[in-house]
Structure formats: structure tokens, C-alpha cells
Amino acid sequence: MKKILYVVLDGLGGTSDPKLNGKTELEVAKTPNMDRLAQKAKLGLMYPIGPNIAPESDAAVLSILGYDVDKYYTGRGPLEAHGADIEVRDGDLAWRANFATVDEETLKILDRRAGRNLSTEEAKALAEEVNQKVKLEDAEFIFKATVGHRGVLVIRSKKGKLSANVENIDPGYKRHGPYSIAISNPPSEVQKCIPLDDSEEAKEAAKLTNEFVIKAFEVLKNSEINKKRKAEGKKPANIILLRDAGDSLPKVPTLQELYGLTFGSIVEMPVERGIALLTGMKEVPIEDATNYKLWADKVIYALEHYDGVYAHLKGPDVPGHDGDYDKKIKSIEDIDSIFFESLLPKLDFSKVVIAVTADHATPCMLKSHSEDPVPLMIITNGITPDGLTYFGESACSKGSIGKIKGTELLPLLVKIAKE
């Protein structure tokens, strides 16, 4: 049996953009290594969850690892918490959190990511201050900063179990069944958490969430760290936006139980780490996520030790959210010229099946995730290539794989590996 190398480039996908003469960022980027792979590959397009859904990364990653989100998904919060080594018991309320900036009089959101220049060290110090100074009347909580402006909150009620059937505080995302979808042109005001059903568990969850946000705001706006940021001309991280609540960890079969295969994971963000651990993958730590040559070395190491390797590189997503065309294109080019340039000479294509794709599209034009399908290519010796010359959405739309759903990809890779 061949090994499986599953490479996910976060937010790689795009949409036809007038600023790029109808092309996408991937199609404009210079990617000779990925293009050479495409010439040996079968190509296609993939809807991470399904058509007409602009997914968040968590639900999308679960789906592209073969899990039906309608069956297994319980919210992003528990996955983030699991990836941050925080216990989530059934009935806890776990949220994904962002430090953000608001006008302190009106609570109008000025920046959903506090200028995207909040250091991890600043965030951890602010989180420590919140944990020390905020007290909830009927609950305990753990608030933990993770990477940059990101964090996770877990609330445990003294009265009993909480329900995650509540609306987001963060206006950028709207609840859509068990998961959230990105909102184009969202409201600028911090939202009040409201219960989405009449249960006492949902009402209590909403009450505690609102209490935390207001009390944390009072602490953060008076923090010396934020006073220093203001003095330096930076935006204060004076509020915590919450989204994607969950009240339990998903109960999923591991990849080894499903396929009889061991997988190693190389990821950099807490939510992907949480999913990888939950699905039974072994962690291959990446000490410097900005070093793409190190990523290539880690992939080779992991292929020697596991049946499959899941490598999830964050690069293109952040500039996509920022609407920064130059940085997204450069990120794609850096992945090609460093990661793939270092990796491909070390691979034996007769012994490995390679898939390169994305968890979702993040077009700069939208500054958010979109409903667009993402490009996909599958390469191994013995596969009949489609005869297409480059890796991009237009070429992939002509590929023999056609359009598939995310849940179909990993079973397809396992099937090819076992042939």
C-alpha cells in the first residue's frame, strides 16, 4: 500500500475577480512546482461541505477528513478548546474568541481582530488579567489566548448543563444549524447573545455569555496593556468577540478505526490541532510555522513513521481575510517556491499518493470565506493525468475528478493508495 500525503493550503481558493482580469489569486501567482504536479495529476473541484455553503475552517476540516458535519459537528468552540488543551465536559459552553477593538462609548466594532498586530504575549497577559478580575455569578470559566488575537472560552455553570443553541456575539458569523457561516457586510455592532430555543439551558448560556463579555470589556478597557497600545498608536484589544459555541466534544470514530491507517498531523492553529487529536492523528510539532522548508522536512519525517500525513498550512487565509492581494499571492508563491521546492525532490511518487487542496476559499475581493469550490489535484505513479498544464480553479474545473464534496476525498485517497 502507498502512503498518503494530504496537503491543505488554508484559504487557497478564490473566485473570478475583476481586479485580476477574471482570474483568482492562485491563477495569478507564479507556482511552477504546483503546476508541474498538476501536469501529472487528476484535477477537480471540491465543495468542502457542499454547494452554497461558505464554511468556517473547523466544519470544513472535519468534512474534508471524511466526517459528516450534520452528524458529528458540535461547534467550533469545543474543537478550539481541545486544541488548546482545555477540558470540555458535556454541558460546558465552549466558544471561539477573538480580541477585537470597539468604540468604548458605543461598542461599535472598529476592528474585529484588534489591528491584527496583537502579539501572542500581549494576548496571554490580557487573558490572565481577565481570568483574575472577572467573576461570574453562577459559573466558573477558563479564558485562554492561543495565537495572536485568537482565544477560547469555556464556561461551566454551577446550576447544571448549558446549551450551545445560542447566537454569536461576533456579528461576522451567523449560526446556521450546528455551524456558523460568514456574513458579507456584517453589522458593526457587538451582538447580544440570545437563546435560539426556549430551554433553560440555552437561556442560562446566553445570560452567562453576555455577563462575561461585559465584565471582560470593563477589565480590558482599563488594562495597562491597552493603554500602552493606544500610546503607541495601536488599536486596543478592548473586547472579546465570541462565536461558534458548542456544549460537547464531537464523538467521532478515529481515522484508524475507519481505515485501519495511522496518520500524523502537522498543523499550526488550535482548531486544526483539536480536530487532528480528536480523530486520532499523532502530532508532529512544527516549531516555526513560518519556515516552509521545515514544513517539508517534517512531512518527510512523518511519512517515514505513519501511513498518512495531514499537513495544514495557514498561509493564504490571513491575507485573504485582510483583502491583501499582494500578500495572498506572495504567500502562495512562497509555499510553492520553498515548501514544494524542498519537498518534491524527496518524494517517491511510486510510494505515495498526494492530494493538494484547500479547506475553503478566502477571496481577497470578499475578505471572507466564500461558497466557491476549491481546487484539488491528486498525483501518484500509475494515475492517468488529465493533460492540464497548471494548478488553478479554471484548470481544475476541466479535470476528470469533476466536482466532489469534502467527505468524498479521503475515502478516495485511501482507495487509490490501496490499489
Q: Do 258 and 376 have their domain in common?
A: yes
Q: Do 232 and 347 have their domain in common?
A: no
CATH of the domain at 340: 3.40.720.10
Q: Do 398 and 310 have their domain in common?
A: yes
pLDDT of residue 177: 75
Instruction: Show which of 246, 271, 287 is a domain's final residue.
Output: 246
Q: Do 155 and 183 have their domain in common?
A: yes
pLDDT tens, residue by residue, 85-140 = 999 999 999 999 999 999 999 999 999 999 999 999 999 999 999 999 999 999 99
pLDDT of residue 115: 92
Lowest-confidence range among 55-59, 142-146, 306-310, 355-359? 55-59
Cross-strand partners of 309: 5, 264
The three cell numbers locating residue 70: 450534520
* DSSP for residue 191: P
How many degrees, rounded to 5, is the angle at CA 345 between CA 7 and CA 376? 30
Instruction: Show which of 246, 280, 300 is a domain's final residue.
Output: 246
pLDDT of residue 174: 85
- Its pTM stands at 0.90
pLDDT of residue 173: 86
Q: What are phi and psi of 232, to 5 degrees?
A: -90, 5
Length of the chain equals 419
Task: Tell me the mean pLDDT in the region 15-32.
Answer: 98
Instruction: Show which of 246, 264, 289 is a domain's final residue.
Output: 246
What sign for the dihedral angle of Cα 182, 364, 240, 269?
positive
Q: Do 262 and 175 have their domain in common?
A: no
What sign for the dihedral angle of Cα 324, 397, 342, 263?
positive
pLDDT of residue 56: 85
Tell me the C-alpha to C-alpha distance, in Å, between residue 263 and each of 253, 255, 410, 414. 14, 7, 12, 12
Q: Residue ranges of the alpha helices (H) in 45-182?
A: 57-64, 69-72, 76-83, 120-133
Rg (CA), the chain: 21
Q: Do 242 and 118 have their domain in common?
A: yes
Percent of the chain with pLDDT over 90: 94
Nearest to 226 by CA among 98, 95, 102: 102
- Residue span of the structural domain in which 384 resides: 3-71+252-418
pLDDT of residue 54: 86
pLDDT of residue 379: 98
Q: Do 109 and 165 have their domain in common?
A: yes
Instruction: End-to-end CA distance of the chain: give it in Å, rounded.
Output: 7
Q: Residue ranges of the alpha helices (H) in 315-377?
A: 317-322, 325-334, 341-343
pLDDT of 183 higher than 90: no
pLDDT of 182 higher than 90: no
Q: How far apart are CA 170 and CA 172, in angstroms?
A: 5
Domain count within the chain: 2
pLDDT of 184 higher than 80: no
pLDDT tens, residue by residue, 363-406 = 999 998 999 999 999 999 999 999 999 999 999 999 999 999 99
Give the pairing type, strands 352-357 and 374-379: antiparallel
Per DSSP, the residues of 239-268 read EEEEEEEESS------HHHHHS--EEEE--
Q: Do 242 and 302 have their domain in common?
A: no
Q: pLDDT averaged over the chain?
A: 96
pLDDT of 178 higher than 80: no
Q: Do 376 and 264 have their domain in common?
A: yes
pLDDT of residue 204: 98
Q: Do 210 and 239 have their domain in common?
A: yes
Q: Do 27 and 107 have their domain in common?
A: no
Cross-strand partners of 240: 99
pLDDT of residue 55: 87
Q: Do 217 and 267 have their domain in common?
A: no
Query: 179 pLDDT band (50/70/90 cuts)?
Result: confident
Q: Do the Cβ atoms of 115 and 234 come closer than 8 Å?
A: yes
pLDDT of residue 171: 92
